[in-house]
């Protein structure tokens, strides 16, 4: 079971970015069989309906599952956001999702944060989502979001964090602001598997390089959402929850930071910290 929490957000889940059609169907089905109960998707991934079908067919009680989706930029308008989330909820085969994120800060200011964050809060008020949050937000974006949302909590900011992009300014801000982060691309699209330092740490613990990278992020209090299409990797990744790295391990991995950003779409990316 993967429902242990950091605050109100589970520590560990299944990511589904780039997984489509039968591939996402098989990945989610295998993950559920292995004990995953946290599924992360997005309107922009184009796989909500397939995931919803698997969730329904699984027969698992709704209260055992934690489902996150993200609003894509074309749906940010006040007249579109709530309706688009209703469509997502329908595709996912549930009455409400557990967490809904703004996927990227609005490109080129086409829709103001005031408009889309207010609409997201309205979706929560209507019961379409139990919690709300953001993704790919900078420090300034988070400050602005908090000012707009007031008493409505930002459950998490989902951002790229891995050994080669440790995002320290944002991490430090989140710690002082008591704001939770979810790490995506924690395995740096597989690059950590060939890293000599991470492989050395893994060997010392009788673990895999992937488990070490995931345990490194978890040790900092970040949730993680690794994806895989292979049953053995899905099962292996779960064991990161049981791996405790030493202070020396953490210090060695800290030295791997090189500011290597992998998710940086020019039409969507903000001015990063």
Sign of the CA dihedral 229, 190, 232, 61? negative
| Nearest in space to 202 (alpha carbons), one of 254, 251, 247, 245 | 245
**What are the helix (H) ranges across 59-208?**
81-91, 113-125, 139-149, 168-177, 196-205
Q: Are 124 and 131 in contact (CB under 8 A)?
A: yes
Cα distance between residue 17 and residue 158, in whole Å = 13
- 203's CB contacts (< 8 A; 6+ apart) are none
- Asked if 45 is an active-site residue, the reply is yes
**What are the helix (H) ranges across 138-264?**
139-149, 168-177, 196-205, 209-219, 231-238, 247-254
At 214, give phi and psi (nearest 5°): -70, -45
Q: Are 18 and 226 in contact (CB under 8 A)?
A: no
Q: Per-residue DSSP letters for 190-204?
A: GGGGG-HHHHHHHHH
Question: Side-chain half-sphere of 217: how many Cα atoms within 13 Å?
Answer: 34
Paired residues of 40 in beta bridges: 15, 68
**Which candidate in 45, 76, 116, 164 is catalytic?**
45
Active site residues: 45
């Amino acid at each position: 079971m993967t429902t242990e929490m950091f605050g109100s957000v589970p520590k560990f889940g299944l990511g589904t970015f780039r997984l489509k059609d039968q591939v996402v169907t098989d990945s989610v089905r295998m993950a559920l069989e292995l004990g995953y109960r946290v599924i992360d998707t997005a309107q922009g991934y184009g796989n909500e309906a397939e995931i919803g079908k698997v969730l329904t067919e699984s027969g698992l009680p709704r209260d055992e599952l934690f489902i996150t989706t993200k609003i894509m930029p074309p749906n940010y308008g006040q007249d579109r956001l709530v309706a688009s989330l209703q469509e997502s909820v329908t595709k996912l085969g549930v009455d409400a999702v557990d967490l809904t994120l703004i996927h990227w800060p609005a490109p080129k200011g086409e829709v103001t944060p005031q408009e889309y964050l207010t609409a997201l809060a309205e979706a929560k008020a209507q019961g379409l989502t139990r919690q709300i949050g953001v993704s790919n937000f900078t420090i300034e974006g988070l400050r602005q979001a908090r000012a707009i949302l007031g008493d409505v909590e930002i459950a998490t900011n989902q951002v790229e964090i891995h050994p080669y992009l440790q995002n320290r300014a944002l991490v430090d801000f989140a710690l002082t602001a008591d704001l939770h982060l979810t790490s995506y691309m924690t395995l740096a699209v597989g690059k950590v598997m060939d890293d000599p330092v991470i492989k050395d740490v893994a060997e010392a613990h009788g673990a895999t390089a992937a488990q070490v990278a995931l345990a490194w992020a978890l040790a900092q209090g970040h949730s993680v959402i690794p994806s895989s299409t292979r049953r053995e990797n899905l099962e292996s990744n779960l064991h990161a929850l049981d791996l405790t790295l030493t202070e020396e391990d953490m210090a060695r991995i800290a030295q791997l930071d090189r500011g290597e950003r992998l998710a940086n779409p020019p039409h969507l990316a903000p001015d990063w910290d």
